[in-house]
A and B are shown apart, each in its own frame.
Chain A
Amino acid sequence: MDINPILLLAALMVASTPILLAAIGELVVERAGVLNLGVEGMMIVGAVCGYIAGHSSGNPYFGFVGAACAGAVVSLVFAVLTQFLLTNQVATGLGLTMFGLGLSSLIGQDAVGSPDLTVAKLSFPILSDIPVLGPILFRHDLMVYLSIVIVAGVWAFLKYSRAGLILRAVGENHEAAHALGYNVRRVRVFAILFGGACAGLAGAYISLVRVPQWIDGITAGAGWIALAIVVFASWKPWRLIAGAYLFGGVTVLQLNLQAEGLKIPVEYLSMAPYLATIIVLVMIRAGRAPASLGKPFHPSS
Chain B
Amino acid sequence: MKRRTLLATGAGAALAAAMGMPARAQDKTKVGFIYVGPINDGGWTQHHHHSAMEMVEHFGDAVEFVYQESVPEGPDAERAITQMALGGADIIFTTSFGFMDPTVNVATNFPDVKFEHATGYKQADNVSVYSARFYEGRAIQGTLAGRVTTTNKIGYIASVPIPEVIRGINSAYIHAKKVNPDVEFKIIWIFEWLNPAKEADAAKALIEQGCDVVLQHTDSTAPHQAAREAGGVYTFGQAADMAEYGPMPRISSIIDNWAPYYIDRVQAVIDGTWSSVNTWDGISTGMVGIGEISDVVPAEVKAEAEAMRDAIAAGEYHPFTGPINKQDGSPWLAEGETASDGDLASMFFYVEGVEGDIPS
Instruction: Give CA–CA (A93, B210) in the complex, Å.
Output: 43
Whole-angstrom distance from the CB of A137 to the nearest CB of chain B? Answer: 17
Instruction: Give CA–CA (A41, B358) in the complex, Å.
Output: 35
Across-interface contacts of A260 in B (CB, < 8 A): 186, 209
Known: A213-B220, A256-B209, A259-B155. A251 touches B189 (CB 8 A): no
Whole-angstrom distance from the CB of B151 to the nearest CB of chain A? Answer: 10
- Residues A213-228 near B (CB distance < 8 A): 213, 215-220, 222
| Structural contact, B205 and A252, CB atoms closer than 8 A | yes
Chain A binding surface, main DSSP class: helix
Whole-angstrom distance from the CB of A3 to the nearest CB of chain B? Answer: 6
Instruction: Give CA–CA (A266, B70) in the complex, Å.
Output: 26
- Which of B42, B191, B201, B222 is the one whose CB lies under 8 Å from A252? B201
Across-interface contacts of A2 in B (CB, < 8 A): 153, 186, 209-210
- Residues A197-232 near B (CB distance < 8 A): 206, 210-213, 215-220, 222
A4 at the interface (CB under 8 A from B): yes
A163 at the interface (CB under 8 A from B): no
| Structural contact, A215 and B42, CB atoms closer than 8 A | yes
Interface range on chain B: under 10, 10 to 19, 20 to 34, or 35 or more? Answer: 35 or more
| Structural contact, A115 and B225, CB atoms closer than 8 A | yes
B54 at the interface (CB under 8 A from A): no
Interface Cβ pair total, 8 Å cutoff:
102
Whole-angstrom distance from the CB of B212 to the nearest CB of chain A? Answer: 12
Q: B174-197 toward A: CB 8 Å interface, digit per residue (1/0)?
A: 000000000000111101001111
| Structural contact, B155 and A220, CB atoms closer than 8 A | no
Across-interface contacts of A217 in B (CB, < 8 A): 38, 70, 194
- Residues B236-280 near A (CB distance < 8 A): 244-245
Instruction: Give CA–CA (A213, B221) in the complex, Å.
Output: 8
Max count, chain B CB within 10 A of own CB: residue among A8, A218, A251? A218
| Structural contact, A210 and B37, CB atoms closer than 8 A | no
Known: A270-B189, A270-B191. A216 touches B37 (CB 8 A): yes
Across-interface contacts of A251 in B (CB, < 8 A): 201
A109 at the interface (CB under 8 A from B): yes
Known: A258-B188, A259-B187. A213 touches B222 (CB 8 A): yes
A118 at the interface (CB under 8 A from B): yes
- Residues A61-107 near B (CB distance < 8 A): 105
A7 at the interface (CB under 8 A from B): yes
A146 at the interface (CB under 8 A from B): no
Instruction: Give CA–CA (A216, B38) in the complex, Å.
Output: 6
Instruction: Give CA–CA (A83, B312) in the complex, Å.
Output: 66
| Structural contact, B40 and A215, CB atoms closer than 8 A | yes
Across-interface contacts of A263 in B (CB, < 8 A): 357
Known: A216-B38, A258-B188, A258-B189. A266 touches B357 (CB 8 A): yes
B206 at the interface (CB under 8 A from A): yes
Which residue numbers of B lie inside 8 Å of A, CB to CB? Answer: 37-38, 40-42, 70, 153, 155, 186-189, 191, 194-198, 200-202, 204-206, 208-211, 220-222, 225, 228-229, 244-245, 355-357, 359
6 closest Cβ contacts across the A-B interface? A216-B38, A2-B209, A259-B186, A255-B205, A266-B359, A7-B208
**Interchain residue pairs with CB less than 8 A apart (14):** A2-B186, A15-B201, A108-B40, A211-B200, A213-B222, A215-B41, A217-B70, A222-B197, A255-B202, A258-B356, A259-B188, A261-B187, A265-B357, A270-B189
